[in-house]
Amino acid sequence: MNSAIKRYGIFGLVFLGGLFFGAGLSQFVSHDQVTASPEQKIAADTQIISLLGEEVMSLTYHTEALTLTAQRSKPADPFAVQITFADGRKPQQCLTSPDLAGLLGDFSTITAKRQIQSPRFEAEFPQPLGTLEIRDRIVAEAPPAMLFRTTANRQAVALSYDGYTAEVRTSIDGFVKLEGGCEALVQR
Amino acid sequence: MASAAKSIKVNLAQQIVQACEGSTKVFSFDCVTGDNEHPTYRGVFRVLRTVHPYRSHTYNVQMDYALFFTHDGKALHQYHGVVPLSVVRTARGSVGDWFGSHGCVRLSEADAKVLYGWASVGTTVQVS
């Protein structure tokens, strides 16, 4: 009896050990272990993000002065735009084209000019622009929110997201147009 | 003359990814696809979004050189695990497909980088 219990006990332990080893090994190889390493990740001319324009369903641009939301219910439809102002100005609403008055391409594909080390982001680009959040139909993995800044002379633009920072080829003109509200977005 | 249409072909049985321009194969890469519980869907898709560098907020894992091709977030991307991709791929083929991914198509860093530079949003992705 005792030897039977011992034998079954050993088998049980071996079984449990194998189970835990297998589960551990599975976790080890199934999940990507390495954490983000923001250093030396973004080469010049890398497309940091690119979204299929027709799949973009909403875009929110938030600055100290305003919050602009452009959204649509179906791919490739016109965007309904709503803008609220921090200074209490009357909110604006308008309908703009499916390419967001020509801006969708500028904001749905963002290309790196050079990577910036995070501590240099605010020093080299002292003027805040705003935060851009774009949503497409991949709801399970939303694109990262992107914080944009510009240089003192407003000639260059940089972004930061998830700990990564880079100067980008995006022109400041698009941000200026967004800040122009419905008047700028409805006219082409 | 217009350039030939680009397409990415994922062969689940062989665990390879081929990049084609028209009928010409330009790249072929080893890959690791989904396990039984999280299969990589068969079908014809398009690249909907590309992001690099990228960290998945859903799984809290790194997914650099990500080419998303399904609306539930499946992507071709760099494998960041500690065990080499070749070992995982071999284990998936010989031991069991529980060594697979959560439905994404994992590539080595070098291959993911090449594919990311070659493809663009709208590129066809065929999984069979």
Over residues B21-34, the pLDDT tens digits come to: 999 999 999 999 99
> Residue B65 falls within a domain, yes or no?
yes
Q: Which residues pair with B7 in a beta bridge?
A: B20, B124
Is the pLDDT score of A16 beyond 80?
no
* Residues within 8 A of A (CB atoms), B 30-59 only: 35, 46-59
Task: Determine the structural domain holding residue B70 and report its residue range.
Answer: 6-127
Q: What share of chain A has pLDDT > 70, as a percent?
A: 78
A25-61, pLDDT tens digit by residue? 444 444 444 444 555 589 999 999 999 999 999 999 9
- Our CA-based measurement puts residue A160 at a distance from the nearest CA of chain B, in whole angstroms, of 12
pTM for the model: 0.86
Q: For residue B32, give the chain A residue with the closest CA.
A: A30
Place of tokens 């919050």: A67
Interface with A, mutate which of B35, B37, B50 (most A CBs under 10 A):
B50
> Residue B121 falls within a domain, yes or no?
yes
Give the C-alpha separation, A38 to A117, whole Å.
8
Burial class (CB in 10 A: 0-12, 13-18, 19+), A18: exposed
Task: Give B59's pLDDT tier (boundaries 50, 70, 90).
Answer: confident
B16: number of CA atoms within 13 Å, CB side?
A: 8
Is the pLDDT score of A14 beyond 90?
no
Give the C-alpha separation, A171 to A174, whole Å.
6
> Residue B82 falls within a domain, yes or no?
yes
What CATH number is given to the structural domain containing B26?
Answer: 2.40.440.10
Q: For residue B81, give the chain A residue with the closest CA.
A: A32
Give the C-alpha separation, B24 to B6, whole Å.
9
A-side interface with B, Cβ within 8 Å?
Answer: 26, 28-36, 38, 41-42, 46-52, 55, 109, 136-144, 162, 164
Q: Tally the domains of chain B.
A: 1
How far CA B19 is from CA of A188, B31, B78, in Å, comes to: 39, 13, 16
> Residue B114 falls within a domain, yes or no?
yes
